[in-house]
Structure 1
Amino acid sequence: MKLALIGATGYVGAALLEEALNRGHQVTALVRHPEKLAQRAGLSALRADVQDVAALTEQLRGHDTVLSAFNPGWGVADIREQFIAGSKSITAASKAAGVKRLLVVGGAGSLYVAPGQQLIDSDGFPAEYKEGAEGARQALDLLRDEQGLEWTFLSPAAHLEPGPRTGQFRLGGEELLMTGEQPGRISVADLAVALLDETEQPRHVRRRFTLAY
């Protein structure tokens, strides 16, 4: 497949890039600093600004699927506003480019921990991540109203961490997955496995899903 990957040099995006290339896909990496990516078979890198809908539309045109690991950066003061604006731009550009399939990696904050209660609203949710998590939650809410794209939103386990690619994990839906009494964990490498599995064999079209060990 011909994949456009937004955010390919980030923590999640780099894992997605590795998994996609190892599966033999043709990947266009859309990043702020393409010089950070070494030349590899199957990879082309373009400098991109996700806030520029017109330019992004042209860069997405001709791809089979858009994978978005967009994140403005946790140190950005207005991360929530940038997250929402960037997500809207990616959706608009995908539609304008005629790419029907959009897969988005978001956060765990919008997963439910009790009826009517999401993780982000729980006592003890880390304050330093709340603005970014709120941006991701609102991005998901916007996608839920989107009928022009075959979108999928992947929320990781509560703990997303470095670790090996095992290919062995549980899938879930709207609720935070637990391991006993503790919130679940997942490696970023296995998160990439799950998203590329969904890319190749869609099972969650116009739905959110999650995963954990």
Structure 2
Amino acid sequence: MRLFVLGGSGGTGAHLVAQALDAGHRVTALARRPESVPRHARLTVVRGDVLRPGGWRHEVAEHDAVLSCLGGAGRRPTTVYSQGMTGIIAAMRECGVRRLSCLTSAALELSPAAPLGRRLLIGGMVRPLYRHLYADMAEMERIVAAAGDLDWTIVRPPRLTDGALTGDYVTAADRPLPRSRSLSRADLAHYLLGHLDDPQSRRAVIEISRR
């Protein structure tokens, strides 16, 4: 496959690019600092900013899928997710690419069956503290869900770690996992790469967690 990866120099994006290349795919990675992305014969690195799609939107052409690993942890108001996704979808439509996968967070929706401590921590502390970030993620999810002409998947991971790739994780479609645990960025990348041909993940919100 030919994959277009946004955020390819970030934590999850770097794992995704490496795993895709190891699997024999061809990858185009958008990065603000191309020098931070290791070189490879099947890798094309494009310098660009997701908020300025004019400089990279034509590069999306002739790819089989677009995967967005954009992320942020700041507490200030942001439009990286929503504005960035608006540009991504416009580029995909212009170039005739239909398959999209992107990341938000499991903290957007908590299962009533989740442990009380987790509900208090996420609902009472984390979401209020990072309210701007989560508001922009939620807006991005609305933008993606409204793109009825695309085959999209929204992936909601829990707290991410720098742990090893295990391949041992669980997922749930269109419902929160009752006991979401942390997940390594390597395992998240493994799912992102592996689910692209899974019809059950298309036009679905997928929660994921280590087992």
Shorter-chain TM-score: what band? 0.7 to 0.9
Q: Determine the structure 1 residue equivalent to 2:155.
A: 154
Distance 2:154 2:40 in 1: 28
Distance 1:145 1:203 in 2: 18
- Residues 89-126 of structure 1, C-alpha deviations (whole Å, 9 max, x = no match): 111111111111111112222223239xx999822325
Alignment of 1:64-103 (within 5 A): 64-71=64-71, 73-75=72-74, 77-79=76-78, 81-103=79-101
Question: Are the structure 2 counterparts of residues 67 and 119 from structure 1 closer, same or farther at C-alpha, using a change threshold of 3 Å?
Answer: farther
- Residues 135-192 of structure 1, C-alpha deviations (whole Å, 9 max, x = no match): 11111122111111111111012x221111111111112443244xxx4221111111
Distance 2:153 2:129 in 1: 26
Distance 2:208 2:120 in 1: 15
SS of equivalent residue, structure 2 residue 155: strand
- Asked if the contact 1:9–1:37 (Cα under 8 Å) also holds between the matched residues in 2, the reply is yes
TM-score scaled by length of structure 2: 0.87
- Asked if the contact 1:164–1:187 (Cα under 8 Å) also holds between the matched residues in 2, the reply is yes
Distance 1:105 1:16 in 2: 13
SS of equivalent residue, structure 2 residue 108: coil
Alignment of 1:27-46 (within 5 A): 27-46=27-46
Q: CA deviation at 1:211?
A: 1.1
**1:207 aligned onto 2:204:** yes
Q: Determine the structure 1 residue equivalent to 2:193.
A: 196
What do you get for the CA RMSD once the two structures are aligned? 2.3
SS of equivalent residue, structure 2 residue 56: helix
**Aligned AA for 2:7?**
G
Question: Are the structure 2 counterparts of residues 120 and 89 from structure 1 closer, same or farther at C-alpha, using a change threshold of 3 Å?
Answer: farther
Distance 1:29 1:172 in 2: 28
- Asked if the contact 1:58–1:97 (Cα under 8 Å) also holds between the matched residues in 2, the reply is yes
Q: State the number of aligned residues.
A: 205
- Structure 1 stretches of at least 4 aligned residues deviating more than 6 Å after TM superposition: 118-121
Distance 2:77 2:157 in 1: 23
**Aligned AA for 1:51?**
L
Distance 2:121 2:41 in 1: 40
Q: Determine the structure 2 residue equivalent to 1:137.
A: 138
Q: CA deviation at 1:65?
A: 0.6
Identity of aligned residues (%): 29
- Asked if the contact 2:6–2:31 (Cα under 8 Å) also holds between the matched residues in 1, the reply is yes
Q: CA deviation at 1:55?
A: 3.1
**Aligned AA for 1:110?**
L
SS of equivalent residue, structure 1 residue 109: helix
Shifted more, 86-95 versus 49-58: the winner is 49-58
Shifted more, 27-36 versus 49-58: the winner is 49-58
SS of equivalent residue, structure 1 residue 113: coil
